[in-house]
Amino acid sequence: MAATPRRIIHLDMDAFYASVEQRDDPALRGRPVAVGGSPESRGVVAASSYEARAFGVRSAMPMARALRLCPQLVVVPPDFARYRAVSQQVMAILRSATPLVEPLSLDEAYLDVTENLWREPLARDVALRLKARIRDETALSCSAGVAPNKFLAKIASGWRKPDGLTVIAPERVESFLQQLPVEALWGVGPVTARKLRAIGIERLVEVRVADRVALSRAVGSLAEWLARLSHGDDPRPVEPHRPWKSISGETTYAQDLDDLGEMRAELERLAYRVAASLGKKNLLARGVTIKVRYADFTTVTRSHTEAAPTGEPAAIAARALALLERTDAARRQVRLLGVGVHGLAGDDERPPAEEWLPFGD
């Protein structure tokens, strides 16, 4: 007898930080809002309202660029204590339906409602009840995706934002997959998407019939996982207590970098993006690592760890730049740069005397 398909919900708060600010300050409602740091101190957008997104303002974007795209943008410094309090409300609502809740950040989570405390036979009805309770108790909206696994539920939750609900029943999985571009695959960003298109893969389902040797050359060890996802197969369970071990970001450049000043600017940009991700996950980091891949594909890493954890972007960037001095970047062309943080800790481990100024504010 075939196993009963799981019922997975991915729930994502809509423009969470910006929506909290607009909820709490009526003067911000209907206006383009960006939560993040000051442009004068290389601040990064942590979240943007839907009014701001209409101008192309997106999270992880430098605030200075956001203001060029939208001169009327209202920049609001982040208040993580307030966002954390609202997040705790939301997570408590989710756990009233099932103990199998896996938070991904302050504003999104997976739930396994195959068996649930409300005894609802349909995951769609669980999602509707959760959305209604969140709106009633927090005055905020969220979007939900319902599917047989995490991969599909995550895609579904973003299908009809904001305030959306998309259900992918097991019998609809194949028709849904047929609609998707290759970027929908987990782990495929712009760089990997370009590599896949270079070997003729435009749509998700085309990965299934791709030449395995060419696919492995293009994406390396990711090939087997992408092939599995292209069939809609994702066996990962919802893990209620999954700890974060590290956060990183990297960029491969179309043309090798040979100017040290440009390398430093790129490394700083990556450091601020990683710091923004730390803030969103309510985490601090003790360690900073950089990755440098030279033009001949030789790759080196450098790392530094301190006893006191930090989430301050300027401190993370300064440590990354100091690590760059311990490489041959000044004398060799570089094709990839990366910044990562490790030794992660919750915000409650911050030394009380330290002033935390997220996103360069």
Residue 355 lies in a domain: yes
pTM > 0.75: yes or no: no
Specify if 70 maps to a domain: no
pLDDT at residue 278, rounded to an integer: 87
Compute the distance between CA of residue 290 and CA of residue 166 in angstroms, rounded to an integer: 39
pLDDT band, residue 361 (cuts 50/70/90): very low
25-43 pLDDT, tens digit per residue, is 999 999 999 998 888 776 7
State whether 205 and 251 are in the same domain. no
Please, which pLDDT band fits residue 180 given cuts at 50, 70 and 90?
A: very high
As a whole-number percent, the residues of the chain with pLDDT over 90 amount to 69
Tally of structural domains, the chain = 2
pLDDT at 221 over 90: no
pLDDT for position 128 = 98
Pair (209, 296) in one structural domain: no
Decide: residue 95, CB within 10 A, 0-12 exposed, 13-18 middle, 19+ buried: middle
What is the Cα 17 distance to its own chain's centre? 14
Full residue range of the structural domain in which residue 266 is found: 246-360
Residues 295 and 264 in one domain: yes
Domain-embedded: residue 115? no
Strands 283-294 and 299-310: antiparallel
- Answer positive or negative: Cα dihedral of 177, 182, 187, 189: negative
Q: Judge whether 354 lies within some domain.
A: yes
My answer on whether 214 and 309 are in the same domain is: no
- Point out the residues that are catalytic: 108
**What digits encode the pLDDT tens for the residues 93-150?**
999 999 999 998 889 999 999 999 999 999 999 999 999 999 999 999 999 999 999 9
- What average pLDDT does the structure give for the chain? 89
Within this chain, do residues 265 and 327 fall inside the same structural domain, yes or no? yes
Please tell me the least confidently modeled range out of 193-207, 235-249, 302-316: 235-249
Of residues 62 and 92, more confidence is placed in 92
- The answer to whether residues 206 and 260 belong to one domain is no
Q: How many residues are present in the chain?
A: 361
What's the confidence (pLDDT) of residue 96?
A: 97
As a three-state string, the secondary structure of the chain is CCCCCCCEEEEEECCHHHHHHHHHCHHHCCCCEEEECCHHHCCEEEEECHHHHCCCCCCCCEHHHHHHHCCCCEEECCCHHHHHHHHHHHHHHHHCCCCCEEEEECCEEEEECCCCCCCCCCHHHHHHHHHHHHHHHHCCCEEEEEECCHHHHHHHHCCCCCCCEEECCHHHHHHHHCCCEHHHCCCCCHHHHHHHHHCCCCEHHHHHHCCHHHHHHHHCCHHHHHHHHCCCCCCCCCCCCCCCCEEEEEEEEEEEECCHHHHHHHHHHHHHHHHHHHHHCCEEEEEEEEEEEECCCCEEEEEEEEEEEECCHHHHHHHHHHHHCCCCCCCCCEEEEEEEEEEEEEHHHCCCCCCCCHHHC
In which band, very low, low, confident or very high, does the pLDDT at 245 lie, cut at 50, 70 and 90? Answer: confident
Inside any domain, residue 127: no
The answer to whether residue 129 is domain-embedded is no
Residue 214 to residues 57, 198, 241: CA-CA distances in angstroms? 36, 10, 38
